[in-house]
Amino acid sequence: MKEPLVIFTSWGGAQYLDWWLLVHLLGGLALGYACRVYGLSFIYAFVIVGAILVGWEVYEELANIAEPWTNTLLDIFFGLVGIWLAYEVVLFENFSMNFWLAGLLLLIWGGLNVWGWFAWQAREAKASQLQAEAEKVMTTIDH
């Protein structure tokens, strides 16, 4: 079954854009601000956070969390956009305000991850249940 191009009604994996793009954007933004707070240059932050983003997508693949390759690339892209925003959009000149902003963004990012994780678990459980019911029907038909 072909994935829809865009889904913003649930955490389901779309071909291009879904709610997970917010998680990746906020993750890149929060980690970018954290890198700024610690005085890392944009290039170092881009490489470090970019490696984390790519590593996460590799983990998803190894854990059989299936999503279209276009969605994977866009997840990484939006995370990198988040880093760029953290370095290009100076919201506060004050160090402590940037520190708190990074913390707040990480907190929101974590909450979105938990929400998305539970939504994914529920979707997987429903898919398993539907598959078991289909197999039961097929077994009944075969006999």
Q: Domain map of the chain by residue range? A: 20-108
Q: Residue 74 corresponds to which tokens in the numbers above?
A: 């866009």
DSSP H helices, the chain, are 20-37, 42-62, 69-88, 95-142
According to the model, what pLDDT value does residue 88 have? Answer: 86
Distance of CA 98 to the CA centre of its chain: 23
According to the model, what pLDDT value does residue 123 have? Answer: 76
Query: What is the rounded distance in angstroms from the CA atom of residue 19 to the CA atom of residue 21?
Result: 5
Query: What is the rounded distance in angstroms from the CA atom of residue 55 to the CA atom of residue 77?
Result: 14
According to the model, what pLDDT value does residue 14 have? Answer: 58
According to the model, what pLDDT value does residue 84 have? Answer: 93
According to the model, what pLDDT value does residue 131 have? Answer: 82
According to the model, what pLDDT value does residue 44 have? Answer: 96
According to the model, what pLDDT value does residue 68 have? Answer: 80
According to the model, what pLDDT value does residue 105 have? Answer: 81
Averaged over successive runs of 10 residues, the pLDDT of the chain (143 residues) comes to: 56 66 88 86 94 91 82 90 87 70 82 82 81 79 70
pTM as predicted: 0.68
17: alpha, beta or left, given left = phi > 0 and alpha = psi -120 to 50? beta
According to the model, what pLDDT value does residue 83 have? Answer: 93
